[in-house]
Amino acid sequence: MGVKQFKVFANQLADQAREIALKYFRTSLDVESKSDNTPVSIADKCIEKTLRNAINTLYPDHGILGEEYAQQHSDSEYLWVIDPIDGTKSFITGRPTFGCLIALLHDGKPVIGIIEMPALKERWIGVQHNAAFFNGSIVHASNRNTLS
């Protein structure tokens, strides 16, 4: 299994997360409080459940660590890490500064990371030993050493 194939799949997961988030964004929805008093919405649960189902269908031996549901095969060679709505308070108050975070670890080391910002239509993706991308264009850190 190559990282290239996982990158395609991770982007498909981000596409699904975007679609679900935008379906619920700026709508009237019930919000629950988790045991740590942080909010959770139906969008959080729906996104995570959808992504878990997609991962389990294609990669049933992979582990999943999500924010809303129990860990699954967390000792697997490959582990998907999902935060379905990072910034739930922003999401539920209608601010566009929320995102979905998706990562893939191989033997405990990150190999793919995605920041999907549905309302802003922005996607950042990094793949181990490759360039990072923002909406399909290569990005890189500045080589400047001072703020001035």
> What local confidence, expressed as pLDDT, does residue 137 receive?
95
Identify the DSSP state of 65: E
> What local confidence, expressed as pLDDT, does residue 37 receive?
81
> What local confidence, expressed as pLDDT, does residue 109 receive?
96
Could you tell me the strand order of the sheet in which 132-134 lies?
A: 63-66, 78-86, 99-106, 109-117, 122-127, 132-134, 137-139
CA-nearest of 25, 38, 46 to 93 is 25
Round to whole Å and give the CA distance between 141 and 139: 7
Round to whole Å and give the CA distance between 7 and 21: 21
Round to whole Å and give the CA distance between 133 and 71: 29
Average pLDDT of each block of 10 consecutive residues along the chain (148 residues)? 88 98 94 85 96 97 94 94 95 96 97 98 95 93 84
